[in-house]
Amino acid sequence: MALARALLCQPDVLVLDEPTADLDPLSARRITRAIQQCVPGRIVIAATHKAELVACASQVLDIAQGQVTQRTIPERHHVLLSCAQEACPV
């Protein structure tokens, strides 16, 4: 319910902490698609361990042992992200 409320408010920046945690794979894909459809043109910051959700990101920061590093996303992935929502594998 909290996620639905947050998406309905249409914030410019949406911060999510493990939005698909404890969900079965099908439900996680549905939630990820719903988030994508509700936030075009907005900033979404998501803390997650799920590779499927990370695959939808245009930028990824890894945090480990107190260090923050930016993960390089292959150019091919940038091109896919600029296409339609179907580009995301989830």
Complete DSSP assignment for 6-50: HHHT--SEEEEESTTTT--HHHHHHHHHHHHHH-TTSEEEEE---
pLDDT over 70 (residue 37): yes
Domain that holds residue 65: 2-87
Categorize the per-residue pLDDT at 1 as very low, low, confident or very high, splitting at 50, 70 and 90: confident
| DSSP reduced 3-state for 87 | helix
CA–CA separation, 77 vs 68, rounded Å?
Answer: 21
Query: Locate tokens 């480990």: which residue?
Result: 64
φ, ψ at 66 (rounded to 5°): 75, 5
**Which entry of 18, 52, 75, 86 is annotated as an active-site residue?**
18
| Residue reference for tokens 């940038």 | 78
In whole angstroms, give the CA distance from residue 23 to residue 84: 25
75 catalytic, yes or no? no
Provide the pLDDT for residue 58: 83
Work out how many domains the chain is built from and give that number: 1
Quick: pLDDT tens for 42-85.
Answer: 888 888 888 888 888 888 888 888 888 888 776 544 444 443 34
